[in-house]
Structure 1
Amino acid sequence: MARIISLITLLLCTLIVLTWPDITEGTALTYNVAAHEKACFYAWVDKAYEKVSFYFAVQSGGSFDIDYTVTDPRDKLVINGDRERQGDFVFTANFVGEYSFCFANDMSTFAEKIVDFEITIENEPRAELPPSKGVTPEQTSNMEESLIRLSGSLSTIARSQKYFRTRENRNFSTVKSTENRIFWFALLESTLIVGMAALQVFVVRTFFSTTKRGNV
Structure 2
Amino acid sequence: MAAFYILLSCLLYVFLVAVSEVDATALTTAIGPNERLCFYTDVDKAGEKIGFYFAVQSGGSFDIDFEVKDPNDKVLLDGVRERQGDYVLTANTIGEYAFCFENDMSTLTEKLIDFDIMVESEPRRDPPAKPGQIAEQTSALEESIFKLNGMLLNIKRTQKYFHTRENRGFDTVKSTMNRLFWYALLESLGVVGMAILQVYILQTFFTKTGRKYKV
Instruction: Map 1:167-178; keep pairs closer than 5 Å.
Output: 167-178=165-176
Instruction: Give distance in 1, aligned partners of 2:158 and 2:183.
Output: 37
State the partner residue of 2:187.
189
Shift of 1:133: 4.2
Instruction: Give distance in 2, aligned partners of 1:55 and 1:188.
Output: 42
Q: Which runs of 5+ in 1 are unaligned?
A: none
State the partner residue of 1:71.
69
Shift of 1:100: 0.9
Does the 8 A contact of 1:24 with 1:123 survive in 2?
A: yes
State the partner residue of 2:107.
109
Shift of 1:104: 1.0
Does the 8 A contact of 1:37 with 1:106 survive in 2?
A: yes
Shift of 1:214: 6.3
User: Cα deviation per residue 1:153-212 (whole Å; 9 max; x = unaligned)?
Assistant: 1111101111111111111101100000001001111111111122222323333455x8
Instruction: Give distance in 2, aligned partners of 1:113 and 1:213.
Output: 61
User: Cα deviation per residue 1:74-111 (whole Å; 9 max; x = unaligned)?
Assistant: 11111111111110011111111111111111221122
* TM-score (ref. length: structure 1): 0.90
Instruction: Give distance in 1, aligned partners of 2:21 and 2:181.
Output: 53
SS state at 1:52 partner: strand
* TM-aligned CA distance change 1:214 to 1:118, over 3 Å: closer
For the pair 1:9 / 2:12, whether they are aligned, the reply is: no
Instruction: Give distance in 2, aligned partners of 1:35 and 1:22.
Output: 38
Shift of 1:55: 0.5
Q: One-letter code of the match for 1:68?
A: F
Q: One-letter code of the match for 1:125?
A: P
Aligned residues: 213
* TM-score (ref. length: structure 2): 0.90
Q: Which has the higher helix share?
A: 1
State the partner residue of 2:163.
165
Shift of 1:8: 3.4
State the partner residue of 2:128.
130
